[in-house]
Structure 1
Amino acid sequence: MSEDRTQPYGHSADRRPAARRRTTLNTTVTDPIRGTSEPDRYWTTTNLGEACPDVMSPMCWSVWEESAELGWLYSMYALGVIPKRRVTVSPDVNDRGLSCFYGRQALNVDAIRRIMADLPGVDGDDFERDLMGSVRPDAPQYKGSLTRVPALLVRAPYALLRTGKRLRDRHDVIYKKWTATVFGPPGALRDQPIDRLVAGREAFKQIFKVHCVVRFIFQGGQSAVTGVAEKAGGQALAVELLSGVGDVNETRMADDLWRLGQGQLTEELFMRSWGYHGPNEGNPFTTVWRENPAPIRALAAATAQRGERPSDRAAQAQAAGLRAEQRLLAATPAVQRPAVRWLVARMRNIVRTLQIGKAGYLMALDLTRHAAREVGAQLVENGVLHSVDDVFMFTIEECQALVRGAVPNPREIVEVRRANRAEYKAMVLPLAFTGMPIPVERESEQSGVGIEFSGAASGGAAVEGRARLVLDPAEDVELEEGDILVCRFTDPSWAPLMTLAEALVIDIGGSASHGAVVARELGIPYVIGTEKGTRTVHEGDRILVDGGNNLVRVLHRAADTAERPAAV
């Protein structure tokens, strides 16, 4: 966030766009999470809600802003699509691949189309269709160039072979740093909290960019596996091939939770492995399990009551995946089988690596969370802030100024930005928009029994059950046998709850999303990317989830829907 240095920090000069200012107490306070756009820019919030759910705080955006932009650009460089000099954050937000509107991240579709056009065999329409499900009639067309082909032929294979190890190595370094920082003895840390806050963001930036490379490799590999599977047995076979890859972080966490509930694992050991998870964990302002273990204790008790251990369910899914591979190989010409076998094995390894990368960057975010709350505690002690979590209403750069005593109106800034964020949380943004988004009305679908809908990704068998609508990940929910979890999004912190569900219906996500990966690992039927599941299904409804046919159907409305929670 650039500031006019003739103005007090946190204030804005008159040359800033009026839409980014909110006046209170005769002064003007900037709003880093509101966003700005030229009127012809086309944006979408698709595929970003899972990584950083809920409305970000200014500190959250100051952690994500540069890291996310450099992450996707670095992945393009690592694969040879762009030269290294283009891995830089443009000073004009309209030229970036990502931005923030009312606290939600959004993709700049046209900016990404321009770069994707240089991928051989891919054009902007392909990218937009995969992302949005359709292509605008007036979508801008960018002519690709073959000048990057030599770089692609060299860099792409290198990235495919080496990036996984790089990501695992970075994960291990961050894990050691995380455990030493958050579980070390009091007073052992010698550096200042503000310096650790800056270092935490840098650690996140470095691992996130490598994670982005694996994420793009996954997309390409998934397309290849799907193509091979569809020729041999159809879309369902492709889903089964990516099921039960084994040793995925989230299934290990779910199994550790079962062990915790059985008394086979201590809470301390569980937290040293998984304590960086928690509701809306992609946002540094949230409270994770190591800070509040109450949700884990409740989930451990519920998991222990179930007869089936998560590792047993994962083993069954793994056996199904191996059977699918045998069917694929049997339907493949002998001369092609070694290549197909290698492709499937490589994709399974990429799935595991992708979850390791996610764990690494979530630990880096927790390092920023830990340092930020220490900075907040210092500022409260010095009388600068009223409460510790007020610190999340400032960007990291502003926190540095706060520590120096260079912000004359910190409590006013907190008041205005908290009010803004509360206003943004009440908004529903369209999935895609041109220029600044216009919030849409929040309405529930009123259709009754028999309504059907589908999603962007699905898999598994067909099951019926009672719908349990979970709109707040911090909500205390008890799933009974046969219950179907219906929610807006999932992140790794949802894995323990997902193990208790008979099936999953999720508004946000796709085949590479966390919910799909965990569902495939545990053999749970799922329909993901519905966009409207939480507005269509009522708490307590009897519903059918048919993963094989990508279908959700309301079979019977709950007798009392008056107390259905409002969508958020």
Structure 2
Amino acid sequence: MYTNVTDPIRGTSEPDRYWTSTNLGEACPEVMSPMCWSVWERSAELGWLYSMYAFGVLPKKKVTVSPDVNDRGLSCFFGRQALNVDAIKKIMSALPGVDADDFERDLMGSVRPDAPQFKSSYARVPVLMFKAPYALLRTGPRLKSLHDEMHERWTASVYPRKESNSEPIDVLVQARDQFQRIFSVHCVWRFVFQGAQSAVAQAAEKAGDATLADQLLSGVGDVNETRMADDLWRLGQDELTEGEFLESWGYHGPNEGNPYTTVWRENPAPIRALAAAYAQRSERPAVRAARAREVGIEAERRLLAATPWSRRPATRWLVHRMRNIIRTLQVGKAAYLMAIDAARAAARNLGAQLVERGVLQQVDDIFFVTIEECQELVCGRVPNVQEVVEVRRATRAEYKAMALPVAFRGMPEPLVGAVEVDVVDVTELSGAASGGGSVEGRARVVVDPDQEIELDAGDVLVCRFTDPSWAPLMALADALVIDIGGSASHGAVVARELGIPFVIGTQSGTRVIHDGDHIRVDGPANLVSVLTRAKAAETATA
């Protein structure tokens, strides 16, 4: 056995570094392969640093990947991305008037008693005053332009697939560069979204009704995922062809943030099953979104009525601006997912090329080498590559069987075949975010995005995380319970857009709730209750 195989996805950390996997499960779910991490590693680090530069927090020379992983904002442990809490807090403290502990509190729910203290600085106030307004005004249009440019590239070279004169390795490197460029701008807009969402919440609190915040973010209209779900309904009603649907949405699929997955353009079977389910539904997602929009309009009316007349114009502008921010945020996510799909296609083309040369045994072996190693591989400078692939494939399988703590110091202690908490007798859950109304129904627990499941009217979807590919399934549910996420997560955005009650960020919902349980999802109360266990119900029936 080849013993000198490096492990790009294991990670390393000094003992005193404090890490968390919170808020990263949506962007890149599943355990990454070495290829996945080589797409994300540099891009994610430069992305969040660029957002700080765009607002004037950092000078341009600081937008660079530190050679010391302990000083970076992000890293990878056993195939999962994690945030370096103190490294990010240190940079965030450069924002005047910002308490770095607030970032940790928002992220983790509390602040460590021994957390390092970082004082706010006013040194960059002049730069902030100049750059921040520019970022607020220009980033949205720039993100939309990048989306249109990326979609043109994607339809020209990825779907439908066309022969290219370029070498696959060159296309792969270019796709990663495109992803890095788009993701950096998306990170800027993500911070705009966070700030605007906080401002809306504060406006609701000043008006005397904090619950208005969730309703004000409902039904913003023309959100990508709602359009996708509606197109799938149209496909089920024979108003749209499969080819037309895939040309718009074929870059989506299970675990789509990881290049080492199969998306709908490669395997359309999942959308055929969903289209068949939509064929049985008379109400289209666009109708649900229209109802949610009425909720948002009524919430705005109530907010303005409770706001002093002197502040009403600014409040009205804020609410309308927030709606546009939400639309553009989803556009940015679509753009970088297309770039990832371009990398996915290029990697598989390169894998096929190397299989033909006898270098690799299977096309997907390519996902167990990094892009840098691929550059060496095509030049014949990587010996024993098949042994490297086999070792890393086996290692990744071991990592998939592990669970990591949500927060940890230094290297995490993986939990193999175990769970983090005892959930046997738990019957109530709360989350990091919630909204909508209150619904009772049958729980349908989905832990694997490839899992086939049929949602009947009245069913509640319970899952670990969601990404845009989940939107059509979410639109079939009457309520959502999600382990990972918060008020700014994809699941919350889509739930509000479709008017679906939700509780998100439960951490353990998929382990507490069993498939078939009768549960209540109370959005306003931020509470999920197990009313009747599935097995108990079966026994009672018998």
TM-score band, normalised by the shorter chain? over 0.9
- 1:258 equivalenced with 2:233 (yes/no): yes
Q: 1:474 to 1:561 in 2, by over 3 A?
A: farther
Partner SS for 2:211: helix
1:198 maps to: 173
Contact 1:462 1:547 survives alignment (8 Å): yes
Show CA shifts across 1:404-437 (max 9, x none): 1111111100110001100000010000000000
1:134 corresponds to which letter in structure 2? S
Show CA shifts across 1:164-199 (max 9, x none): 000000111110000001135643x21111100000
- 1:388 equivalenced with 2:392 (yes/no): no
1:252 corresponds to which letter in structure 2? R
| CA distance in structure 2 between the partners assigned to 1:269 and 1:498 by the alignment | 22
1:529 maps to: 505
| CA distance in structure 1 between the partners assigned to 2:159 and 2:258 by the alignment | 21
| CA distance in structure 1 between the partners assigned to 2:155 and 2:521 by the alignment | 41
2:441 corresponds to which letter in structure 1? G
| CA distance in structure 2 between the partners assigned to 1:224 and 1:258 by the alignment | 35
Cα distance, 1:118 vs. partner?
1.1
1:409 maps to: 384
Which of 460, 466, 474 in structure 2 is aligned with 1:484?
460
| CA distance in structure 2 between the partners assigned to 1:386 and 1:425 by the alignment | 23
Contact 1:32 1:58 survives alignment (8 Å): yes
Mapping of residues 399-438 of structure 1, within 5 Å? 399-438=374-413
TM-score, normalised with respect to structure 2 = 0.97
- 1:48 equivalenced with 2:24 (yes/no): yes
Q: 1:420 to 1:561 in 2, by over 3 A?
A: farther
2:107 maps to: 131
Cα distance, 1:143 vs. partner?
1.9
Show CA shifts across 1:493-544 (max 9, x none): 0001001111000000011111001100000000000101111111111111
Cα distance, 1:446 vs. partner?
4.4
| CA distance in structure 2 between the partners assigned to 1:264 and 1:560 by the alignment | 43
2:490 corresponds to which letter in structure 1? H
Taking only the aligned residue pairs, the percentage that are identical comes to: 72
Contact 1:459 1:550 survives alignment (8 Å): yes
| CA distance in structure 2 between the partners assigned to 1:451 and 1:496 by the alignment | 28
Partner SS for 1:30: coil
1:30 corresponds to which letter in structure 2? T
Which of 481, 484, 487 in structure 2 is aligned with 1:508?
484
Contact 1:56 1:104 survives alignment (8 Å): yes
CA RMSD of aligned residues (A): 1.3
1:304 maps to: 279
1:229 maps to: 204
Which of 345, 355, 360 in structure 2 is aligned with 1:370?
345
Partner SS for 1:505: strand
- 1:274 equivalenced with 2:238 (yes/no): no
Structure 1 unaligned residues grouped into runs of 5+? 1-23, 563-568
| CA distance in structure 1 between the partners assigned to 2:160 and 2:482 by the alignment | 38
Cα distance, 1:560 vs. partner?
7.0
1:13 maps to: none
Which of 108, 115, 120 in structure 1 is aligned with 2:84?
108
Contact 2:18 2:408 survives alignment (8 Å): yes
| CA distance in structure 1 between the partners assigned to 2:161 and 2:516 by the alignment | 47
Partner SS for 2:345: helix
Cα distance, 1:440 vs. partner?
2.8
Structure 2 unaligned residues grouped into runs of 5+? none
| CA distance in structure 2 between the partners assigned to 1:228 and 1:164 by the alignment | 23
2:321 maps to: 346
Q: 1:94 to 1:446 in 2, by over 3 A?
A: closer
- 1:163 equivalenced with 2:139 (yes/no): yes
| CA distance in structure 1 between the partners assigned to 2:62 and 2:384 by the alignment | 38
1:566 maps to: none
Which of 47, 70, 74 in structure 2 is aligned with 1:94?
70
Cα distance, 1:80 vs. partner?
1.0
1:439 corresponds to which letter in structure 2? P
Partner SS for 1:463: strand
Partner SS for 1:545: strand
TM-score, normalised with respect to structure 1 = 0.93
| CA distance in structure 1 between the partners assigned to 2:384 and 2:414 by the alignment | 31
For these two proteins, the number of residue pairs brought into alignment is 536
Which of 129, 135, 141 in structure 1 is aligned with 2:117?
141
2:7 maps to: 31
Partner SS for 2:4: strand
Show CA shifts across 1:449-499 (max 9, x none): x72110000001111011111000011111111110110000000001001
Q: 1:95 to 1:316 in 2, by over 3 A?
A: same
Show CA shifts across 1:276-316 (max 9, x none): 00000000010000000000000011012112110000011
Partner SS for 1:140: coil
- 1:65 equivalenced with 2:55 (yes/no): no
Cα distance, 1:145 vs. partner?
1.5
1:193 corresponds to which letter in structure 2? P
Contact 2:156 2:162 survives alignment (8 Å): no
2:331 maps to: 356
- Which stretch has the larger CA shift, 106-115 or 551-560? 551-560
1:216 maps to: 191
Which of 434, 442, 449 in structure 2 is aligned with 1:473?
449
Contact 1:37 1:435 survives alignment (8 Å): yes
Contact 2:69 2:75 survives alignment (8 Å): yes
Show CA shifts across 1:238-262 (max 9, x none): 0000000000000000000000000
Contact 2:235 2:241 survives alignment (8 Å): yes
1:124 corresponds to which letter in structure 2? A
| CA distance in structure 1 between the partners assigned to 2:452 and 2:40 by the alignment | 29
| CA distance in structure 1 between the partners assigned to 2:415 and 2:214 by the alignment | 34
Partner SS for 1:548: coil
